[in-house]
Amino acid sequence: MLGVAVGEIGLGVEEFYDLTFEEFAEITTAYFKKEERVYKNGWEQARFVAYYSLVPHQGKNKRLKLTDVVRFEWEKKPIVKLDREVMDKIFPKHIKGGTKNIHNDR
């Protein structure tokens, strides 16, 4: 932890030892969130440059979007996997036997 506090975050050794665990946890959480924003911002700037270098070469009827150049992992929508319990909550039992007909159970 001292290495992260002093080497990565830039705290002094004395500052680190004066912190409670909760304070250090808050500082590291904020620091790594900032680092993630900087990382994503760099990639989004690179995509922006690539996009504007491609725009003059697109066809007259073609509308290039930023996500056509590259779609980043953090832009993808999460896939929600529905299990039997969740499906039964969405489709109550009084609707043709709940999920029985949806899953084609025999």
pLDDT in tens, the chain (106 residues): 899 999 999 999 999 999 999 999 999 999 999 999 999 999 999 999 999 999 999 888 888 899 899 999 998 887 777 777 777 777 766 555 545 555 555 4
First to last CA, the chain: 56
63 SS3 class:
coil
Q: Where are the domains of the chain?
A: 2-59
Q: What is the pTM of this model?
A: 0.62
* DSSP alpha helix (H) spans, the chain: 2-3, 13-18, 21-54, 66-69, 84-90
